[in-house]
Structure 1
Amino acid sequence: MLELNPEPRPPDSETLQPGECRPMTQTGRPPAENPVLMALKQKLWYHLLESFSGSRFYSSRVDWNELRSMILERIRRRAKDYPVQAMIPVANDVVKARALVIEGVSNLIKFIPIKACKFCPELFIGENGHLIQTCHGFRRRAKNQDHTWIDGTLNDILVPVESFHLQSSMFQDVIKHDQRLDFERLPAVLELCYQAGANVYDECLHSSSLRADNGINDSVVAKSLSWHELTSVAKCTLEAWERMRSGVEKLLLVYPAKSCKYCSEVHIGPSGHKARFCGVFKYEGWRSTHLWKKAKVDDLVPPKVIWRRRPQDPPVLLDKGRDFYGRAPAVIELCMQAGATIPVKYFCMMKIQETTWRFLWIALPTTLKQFRRCIPHSIPSLAPTSTYP
């Protein structure tokens, strides 16, 4: 016979301790969690996922058609704030400093020989090149090959970086691939200064590449400049180089600029263009869209870091000593060889205060006999006095 009011079954001994009972509601179910705690947990998980993924979560209920007009209106109002009046003197100073750098480097390379590789961007300032095997060969068909040296030019030291010239404003519509031929290509530094409100001359805007000759005969310049005057030119060139890089860095803090992650393309504006001529990785023949990132000073003014020879280095730099040799930007090394004083911030890169230890063996010694053989000859008191079989 069935009981009308059966006694409740005791809880499982695995989940509850002896003497405890599970709380139940009138419906026979556990009580619901506090809604305040649930909201706090949901908000905590939201912030955790946002911080780890680096992205934001937007609701799908947002009407993007209404937001589109608001975004476009904000872009139009933002364009009215440019150019910034306080940055116009900085832009004018950058234009003048760039002209001084081009003129100074073009005069210095007439007295100081420079060598450039025929198949890669490697450069060396000196009569002979080095033997460091960092050349990729013709069309990148090889690796770690010797360089084929030829006479260098101005464009080998001051690498030209061009961008599209936006005549109306940098906040205009994005340039599409079919419109790439409708816009002129100008040096990126001049385009940045032009958008910043600088007084850029028309002849500077329409000069597609740097020119080393300014209508002056080389023989006249060689006879007119003495070593003291050449040192003065090097000092002025070095000061103009530092002013130009410092001014470009200040302008990039105010004006947006983009650079490609895989190539040297630069665009002055809040968003890049859609012209498909990016050579991704080593496939230079493949043209694709650019992957834009925020531009830096080195993207607009490439320093062109090269190997340099110190007084304690061998006459020709060898490949096995590449870890001991110093490096420096091409303009800095050129001005230093002309007698200019180099700023202290380049000493670490150039390894000026470091000596080269010429060991007989490259491997670490394991015995006393090998240790005596590996003593550097630059220390006469420790040099071996007798030969060992």
Structure 2
Amino acid sequence: MEGMRKMVWLGFACSGHSRRLYSTKVDLRKLRPMILKRIEKRAQLYPVRAMIPVAKEVLQARNILIHGVSTLLNFLPLMACKFCPEIYIGEQGHLIQTCWGYKHRAKNRVHEWIKGGLDDILVPVESFHLYNMYQSVIRHNERFDFDRIPAVVELCWQAGADPHEENLNSSSWNLDAASGSGLEAESLSPNDLVSIANKTITAWETLRSGVEKLLLVYPVKVCKYCSEVHVGPSGHKARLCGVFKYESWKGAHFWMKANVDNLVPPKIVWRRRPQDPPVLVNDGKDFYGRVPAVLDLCSKAGAIVPAKYNCMMKVQGLSAPVNNQLYGIIRESNF
């Protein structure tokens, strides 16, 4: 019994001794100059030279993508829902009940379609423009002192792309300015449309792959509860999050690491296949394929969508049997 008590006493003594070893107090005021100096040295490592060509390639691909989509929209109809972000590429919208934008009304309703535009396909994502990567945090009362530019452009600028270079300096940084930059319908042949569509798909893939590479090197944050994006090591302090407008956080963002979809939203749409009915109905939504809107637009112009999207598009999938029976009844009633 006495042996057990000695062992217990030795254990407490050892644990107390270990606590004394790790209970050293640190004076943060003395470490602050060292931390600031390390931050300044780290800022000197950017931009990474190996990533400068990638940033330039991303800006060039973005310009080609914007001009290509704006040109194709002069030939192909685009429908957008009046109450939610849903879009559909075709002369008339589908009848799938996925509208969730009605206020004070039941969800999952049929969409009310109107004519769409460039912003409906290429969703604009903006962020604050910083003069350097490690400048002071933007506070709420300073939010109007900084310009808002596309997040992809801000990422490329911080990655070393020269905004004043002739090949990269484009008026299409703002999608509104590029909405009317497409060529006239009479000046393009079907072969020209196919060529533009193929170049647009290539630019789309180059843009997304390039942004993915840049995100491995440069920190970008996105709010967990809204679509706000900040290019930099830490998010800004501007209280713009509408989710917590009436909560104790007062609109403060909850930042997390961003991915490609946060900077370049794919905007997934329903895609009509040859085996589907002329108008997509709600009963067959489990059978229909889906695809990013840019690829669906280019495919309708004659381009070939990369094979990696075949599973998503359900190219060889069957159509809804309910729709086939419905159209069979309609045909019989016509005789």
Aligned length: 317
Map of 2:6 onto structure 1:
31
The CA deviation at 1:73 is: 2.0
Letter in 2 for 1:186: I
Q: Specify the alignment match of 1:100 in structure 2.
A: 64
> What secondary structure does 1:30 align onto?
helix
3-state SS of 1:147 partner:
coil
Q: Aligned residue for 1:256?
A: 219
Normalised by the length of structure 2, the TM-score is 0.86
1:185 aligns with 2:148: yes
Question: SS at the partner of 1:251?
Answer: helix
- Equivalence for 1:175: 138
Contact preservation (8 Å) 1:164, 1:185: yes
* Structure 1 counterpart SS, 2:294: helix
1:24 alignment partner AA: E
Q: Which residue is equivalent to 2:332? A: none
What are the Cα deviations for residues 349-370 of structure 1, in whole angstroms up to 9, with x where unaligned?
Answer: 111121225158xxxxxxxxxx
Aligned twin of 1:268: 231
1:226 aligned onto 2:189: yes
The answer to whether the Cα contact below 8 Å between 2:87 and 2:269 also exists between their aligned partners in 1 is yes
Distance 1:179 1:205 in 2: 27
Please state if 1:211 is matched with 2:186: no
Partner Cα distance (1:142, 1:112) in 2: 32
Counterpart residue identity of residue 134, structure 2: F
- Give the match for residue 329 of structure 2: none
Answer with 1 or 2: which has the greater Rg. 1
Query: How far off its partner does 1:36 sit?
Result: 7.8
Indicate the SS of the match to 2:2: coil
Residues 142-192 of structure 1: CA distance to partner in whole angstroms, max 9, x if unpaired?
Answer: 41111110111000000000000012x111110000000000000000000
Corresponding position of 2:201? 238
CA 1:205 to 1:113, structure 2 compared with 1: closer, same or farther past 3 Å?
closer
CA distance in 2, matches of 1:249, 1:30: 61
- CA gap of 1:307–1:206, structure 2 versus 1, over 3 A, is closer
RMSD of aligned Cα (Å): 2.9
Closer/same/farther in 2, CA of residues 39 and 328 from structure 1, 3 Å limit: farther
TM-score normalised to structure 1 length: 0.75
Q: Specify whether residues 353 and 59 from structure 1 end up closer, same or farther in structure 2 by C-alpha distance, changes over 3 A only.
A: farther
Shift of 1:278: 0.8
CA deviation map 1:117-154 (0-9, x unaligned): 11110000000101111112344654111111011100
Identity %: 57
Name the aligned partner's letter for residue 311 of structure 2.
Answer: C
Equivalence for 1:309: 272
Residue of structure 1 aligned with 2:74, choices 110, 119, 135: 110
Name whichever of 286-295 and 264-273 sits farther off. Answer: 286-295
Contact 2:221 2:233 in 1 (8 A): yes
The one-character-per-residue Cα deviations of 1:305-340 (angstroms, maximum 9, x if unpaired) are 111111111111111211111110000100111111
Q: Is the 8 A contact 1:280 1:288 kept in 2?
A: yes
Unpaired segments ≥5 residues, structure 1: 1-22, 47-57, 361-375, 378-389
Q: Secondary structure at the match of 1:115?
A: strand
Label 1:59 to 1:118 Cα distance change in 2 as closer, same or farther (>3 A). farther
Report what 1:69 is aligned to: 33
Aligned mates of 1:281, 1:350 — CA distance in 2: 37
Cα distance change of structure 1 residues 165 and 209 upon mapping to structure 2, 3 Å threshold: farther
Q: Note the alpha carbon deviations across 1:20-73, whole angstroms, 9 max, x for none.
A: xxx436xxx732249589969x99xx9xxxxxxxxxxx9583333233333222
Give unpaired runs (5+ residues) of structure 2: 326-335
- Show CA shifts across 1:187-234 (max 9, x none): 0000000001102246549747452212x6x6xx21111111100100
Deviation at 1:281, TM superposition (A): 7.6
Deviation at 1:265? 0.7
The answer on 1:346 being equivalent to 2:309 is yes
Bigger relative contact order (CA 8 A; separation at least 6)? 2
Instruction: Give the aligned partner of residue 100 of structure 2.
Output: 136
Report matched runs for 1:281-360 at 5 Å: 288-359=251-322
Letter in 2 for 1:30: R
Partner-residue secondary structure (3-state), 1:107: helix
Distance change in 2, residues 1:350/1:180 (3 Å): same
